[in-house]
Structure 1
Amino acid sequence: MEHLRWRPSVNEREFIESALQSDLRVDGRHSFDFRKLKISFGREDGSSEVQLGETHVLGYVTAQLVQPYRDRPNEGTLAIFTEFSPMADPAFEPGRPGESAIELGRVIDRGLRESRAVDMESLCVVAGKHVWSVRVDLHILDNGGNLIDAANIAALAALSTFRRPECTVGGDDGQQVIVHDPEVRDPLPLTIHHMPIAVTFAYFGEGNIVVVDPTYKEEAVMGGRMTATINSNGDICAIQKAGGEGVMSSVVMQCLRIASVKAADITSKIKKAVDSYTTEKALKKVKRLPASLPRKVIVTDVTMEDKGDDELETQAVKTPSDAQEKSKDLATTVKASSHEDAQPMLTESANAEVKITLSSGAAGESEEAQEIGSPKSLKDAIKPKHKRKKNKK
């Protein structure tokens, strides 16, 4: 269905080429300017969405335990899969992937896997038996040009936020793998050593005019294309030159220098977006604990303070019990030494009883209380003890 792809007219082709000769582009950018980049993430880890101008790519990462390759028994695997939907471009055929889809997957796979960006040995669980197989699915939602760069950024962003389940080895033979639920143990992130950034250049006019990040219309007019995959340190991970017109070595070296600068800029944007996503997700997991109660509570004008154990015991001794209040209207205990006489106490109630407890100073033991009959009148109550009349039985 290549005939469905947009083809520019002669006037449109001449207009685009003449504008590029004047260092102008159809969308108003300069030759070495990228379009506006927007990176967002989904609710689940390992899901990213990248918008590079009008190009829209969705990335999703999954992992499962598989048996490793025989030549690499202690390394995991990484695979890139692309899906071109006819909704993104009428030129894309449904079903089997076309040449553009295969080329896109190979370029991104070469930049990630061959450069050892992801630590494959950390994906090994049991050497020769169980390793993690990481799969990156890239869905093209809208083709606005330069799919390689947008898909590469989506893959890196998804890998940076992906978390694989933690697993332990146990059992009787020590070969049984136990995969823990994310709610029981926190998932583990992937070990990413560096970020290989793909930067695509388009050539016009026999390779004399070079632009970065070509649009959909510029790709239809360009004479050739080259993709350089470079990390922020300036290390060249891969170079892809897919046919077209030949390019001089001096132009290639110039493109590599430009790609190194662009790679550092894009890497900082990816890390900033990932850090923002990680911080926002961590704040949602924070549970606030209730504040501790103060030791001093103030209610209106009353201040309540904690008291010591000695004061509480003294207060408990001084406070009469309910049983004593019910049995007696008023009870008085008088402590006196062995050399002093017990002093009678007045009571307002006529039926009140008086208990006199004599404490012995030498032996330290109390004598039995002597019960005195209730006074018949107030005068009788104030009389000395030896003059009171005892109740006759």
Structure 2
Amino acid sequence: MPREAEPSLNERQFVLQALTENLRLDGREFDKYRPLELTFGDEYGVADVTLGKTRVLAKTSAEVTVPYVDRPLDGIFTIATELSPMTSPAFELNRPTETEVLLSRLIEKTVRRSGAMDTESLCLVAGQKCWSVRVDVHVLSHDGNLTDAACFAVVAALRHFRKPDTSMEGGVLTVYTPAEREPVPLSWLHSPFCVTWSFYGEEGEIALLDASWSEEQIRVGSCTISLNRHGEICQIAKLGGTPVEAVALLQCTNVALTKVKEFSTFLDKKLAEDAKRRDKGGLMAELSAENDR
């Protein structure tokens, strides 16, 4: 299996020496993210997220299907990730690497298992028909911290998505096209985000937020904290590496909460801007005119 070129000994020593002097290669502070950009597509449910040089595209789709036998009152919600060779020489098609498996599991636990979306609202006919919502995550460029960028893209795509409206008359289910009825948003309960810390030093005493790829290659451990703006923790994933003191982990969690609130505010702003862009003299303008009269 192809492998990514590892940093040389001189590169490792240079980065570690800079960190001991409170310096990062890109000049950021230890608890700062790279510039975050979010662009929505022309279709509902398409989110393009750029975090520094890391770029992730998430696309949401929905179709009517049969619910699982053991959950007849719930819809189906799945997340699929794809890391292609275009992203990095270390990735191959149809051969999931450890990075891809961990990325998929972290996003799955953060978004799906935390109950961010009300899956019961996806049920159309109990035990017979339901919506199957799927989010495909495509990594277009990898320069570190895939988890945070991918999680943000998934949440943004789901909140931006609109599914066709439906009605039930006489036992017959009717799915309306966007021309017939305005599509409806998903039933969303809370917005969880991932915040990943990287640790350096012999005892992991140096903690960096949003590590770049060059910084990730020499870290001695990492920890991903998933939570929402209300401070509710969805998961804390410390997958091996050097042990970290409990006090340091609490400090990281407090900083993570601040970052999650910033993410949530940023996403709300982008969603409002997109809604305003799409509503050119439409329903909102009609309602405001009605109020003026």
- TM norm structure 1: 0.70
CA–CA separation in structure 2 for the residues paired with 1:2 and 1:231? 37
Residue 192 in 1 paired to residue 188 in 2? yes
Equivalents in 2 of 1:177, 1:243: separation in Å? 50
Which residue number in structure 1 is paired with residue 59 of structure 2?
60
How far apart, CA to CA, are the structure 2 residues paired with 1:163 and 1:96?
A: 32
> Which of 205, 208, 211 does residue 208 from structure 2 map onto?
211
- Superposition misfits of 4+ residues, deviation over 3 angstroms: 284-289
Per-residue deviation at 1:285? 4.3
| 1:232 matched to 2:229 | yes
Please name the residue that 2:291 is paired with: none
Partner of 1:138, secondary structure, is strand
Displacement, 1:194? 1.1
Match of 1:253 in 2: 250
Q: Please give the TM-score of this superposition, normalised by the length of structure 2.
A: 0.94
Report the Cα offset of residue 286 of structure 1.
6.8
Distance 2:278 2:166 in 1: 23
1:87-129 deviation line (CA, Å, top 9, x unaligned): 1111111223222112111111111112111111111111111
In structure 1, how many angstroms separate the alpha carbons of the residues matched to 2:17 and 2:92?
33
Q: What is the Cα deviation at residue 142 of structure 1?
A: 0.3
Q: Which runs of 5+ in 1 are unaligned?
A: 290-393
Secondary structure of 1:283's partner?
coil
Deviation digits for residues 39-90 of structure 1 (CA, Å, limit 9, x no counterpart): 0011000001000000000000001112112232111121110111111111
Q: Aligned equivalents of 1:227 and 1:69: distance in 2?
A: 31
RMSD between aligned residues: 1.6
Q: Deviations over 1:241-291 (max 9, x none)?
A: 1221111211211111111111001111111111100110011647999xx
Q: Give the aligned residue type for 1:247.
A: V
Q: Where does 1:303-314 land on structure 2 (aligned, <5 Å)? A: none
CA distance in 2, matches of 1:287, 1:99: 47
Contact 1:80 1:136 in 2 (8 A): yes
Aligned residue number for residue 198 of structure 2: 202
Confirm whether residue 282 of structure 1 aligns to residue 279 of structure 2. Answer: yes
The aligned residue for residue 290 of structure 2 is: none
Q: Secondary structure at the match of 2:82?
A: strand
- Are 1:49 and 1:56, in contact at CA under 8 Å, matched by a contact in 2? yes
Query: Aligned partners of 2:284 and 2:209: how far apart in 1?
Result: 47
Partner residue in 2 for 1:312: none
Identity across matched positions, percent: 41
SS in 2 for 1:169: strand
CA contact (8 A) 1:167 1:179 kept: yes
Q: Structure 2 matches for 1:1-393, cutoff 5 A?
A: 1-3=1-3, 5-171=4-170, 174=171, 176-205=172-201, 206-283=203-280, 285=282
SS in 2 for 1:132: strand
Partners of 1:244 and 1:130 in 2: how far apart?
Answer: 45
Which AA in structure 2 matches 1:136?
Answer: V
AA at the equivalent of 1:200: T
